[in-house]
Amino acid sequence: MGDSGKLEATVDRLLNEEKQMRLAENVAGTRKAATEILQLCFEAKDWKLLNEQILNLSKKRGQLKQAVQSMVQQAMQYIDQTPDIETRVELIKTLNNVSAGKIYVEIERARLTKKLAKIKEDQGQIAEAADLMQEVAVETFGAMAKTEKIAFILEQVRLCLDRQDFVRAQILSRKINPRVFDADTKKDKKKPKEGENMVEEAPADIPTLLELKRIYYELMIRYYSHNNEYLEICRSYKAIYDIPSVKETPEQWIPVLRKICWFLVLAPHDPMQSSLLNATLEDKNLSEIPDFKMLLKQVVTMEVIQWTSLWNKYKDEFEKEKSTVGGSLGDKAGEDLKLRIIEHNILVVSKYYSRITLKRIAALLCLSIEEAEKHLSEMVVSKALIAKIDRPSGIVCFQIAKDSNEILNSWAGNLEKLLDLVEKSCHQIHKETMVHKAALRP
């Protein structure tokens, strides 16, 4: 009882001192008195009184911003020293209430929300943790360090992916421009001009920009894997592969390069895929994994690939990659691989033939006539190639895709020929008329 009475008496004395300093608008004195009150409550381990005093001091009439900021910052240091989870959550909630709507403690509020979300996640309440994190829009915080902002948004994206909210995860991920990871961090930082906001240093536990780049692309791989967007997954792995720390150690870059090769083969044929495929083939590191170099060369070479022999050769590698933790090769990957080989073979056939029977195409693709027609039709619909099928006679006519300039030039040429013919016809008619008139004269 003696200790409790002593504490209350000291707190009351400091409260009077704080009031005098506050009314005199003495910033340093008010700050000192407020932080001393909190320190006393903490040393006495009276957590209930600490929460009460934080709320009490923040609600005082004409309370100075600097005093509130110092109180919140001081109380945040006590969070990790609380005896149990309930006390910790209570203290975080108190500080959140105090910092709500106050722009001068917005960074502290964001950090408190992150701590509370972590506690909720540890308790298995992922949906609640994700909702808490989404309440804070850190991209509007001018004084927060760039790396801390990115780390916060990535945490929001991760929690959305954990709760299978892929739409919100995509919206949040768009707040980060991938170019920010390529910024040169070694450049001298510009000194802020007078009147500009000072940018705070990021806490020690925040990863570096290159570590954040890897986290960002790993999260994007999780997002793209949901819809089997193989080309985007491949581009994400390519970005990870280009990180200097990854390229330095073969233990890190070999698995990533293997994944790049698999997803390039799985991606539908288009100009971007073709460009990436050729760029990867030129990579000197690919010679370290000759099987994958051979696989990419087969896809690039305009020759028919026998599916059975290819599958027998790469089946073990494919299954091994699929069973790897974070392998990203879904259940549909095996079917998609076969589909890509069929599409490649149809493109090869269209390069060498202008007319061919469906029966011959089916034989080259090792498929039935119905399946060959189905895959061919799908490629025509997706505009991967131009072809017409004469079903009664069973003949396929392939055409070369023309660009707009060629079409315009041919149209202009045809129009010119037509006008020439019209002119010649007019001349002949006029000639016949003249001859006829001459014959009629006596």
Residue 342 in this model has a pLDDT that exceeds 80:
yes
In 10 A of CB 173, how many CB atoms? Answer: 19
Residue 103 is encoded by which pair of tokens?
Answer: 């722009």
Rounded CA-CA distance 199/205 in Å is: 17
pLDDT for 188: 43
Residue 13 is encoded by which pair of tokens?
Answer: 């004395």
Indicate the pLDDT class of residue 17, thresholds 50, 70 and 90: confident
Residue type, 216: Y
pLDDT for 80: 85
pTM for this prediction: 0.79
Q: Nearest-CA neighbor of 361 among 374, 373, 344?
A: 373
pLDDT for 426: 93
Residue 2 in this model has a pLDDT that exceeds 50:
no
Average pLDDT over residues 351-374: 88
Q: Specify the range with the lowest mean pLDDT, choosing from 22-36, 271-285, 392-406.
A: 392-406
Q: What is the pLDDT of residues 318-336, one digit of tens each?
A: 887 776 545 556 667 888 8
87 near 47, Cβ under 8 Å?
Answer: yes
CA atoms within 13 A on the CB side of 420: 6
Q: In whole numbers, what is the pLDDT of the chain averaged over residues?
A: 84
- For 46, 116, 126, the CA distances from 87, given in Å and listed in that order, are 11, 12, 21
Residue 297 in this model has a pLDDT that exceeds 70:
yes
Residue that is written with structure tokens 């030039």 in the block: 409
pLDDT for 42: 86
pLDDT for 77: 87
Residue 442 in this model has a pLDDT that exceeds 60:
no
Residue 422 in this model has a pLDDT that exceeds 90:
yes
Question: Helices marked H in 227-285 — which ranges?
Answer: 230-241, 244-248, 250-266, 271-281
Average pLDDT over residues 22-47: 86
Q: What is the pLDDT of residues 176-204, one digit of tens each?
A: 898 888 775 555 455 544 444 566 777 77
pLDDT for 421: 93
Q: What is the pLDDT of residues 144-177, one digit of tens each?
A: 888 889 999 999 999 999 988 899 999 999 998 9
Q: What is the pLDDT of residues 22-33, one digit of tens each?
A: 888 888 888 888
pLDDT for 107: 87
pLDDT for 194: 43
- Backbone dihedral angles phi then psi of residue 396, each to the nearest 5 degrees: -110, 130
pLDDT for 140: 82
The dihedral through the CA atoms of 30, 33, 37, 38 has a sign that is positive
Sheet with 355-357, strands from edge to edge, namely 355-357, 395-399, 386-390
Q: What is the pLDDT of residues 105-135, one digit of tens each?
A: 888 888 888 888 898 888 888 888 888 888 8
Q: What is the DSSP string of 401-428?
A: PPPHHHHHHHHHHHHHHHHHHHHHHHHH
Residue 141 in this model has a pLDDT that exceeds 60:
yes
SS3 helix, strand, coil % of the chain, rounded to 5? 70, 5, 25
Residue type, 234: C
Average pLDDT over residues 396-424: 86
pLDDT for 197: 55
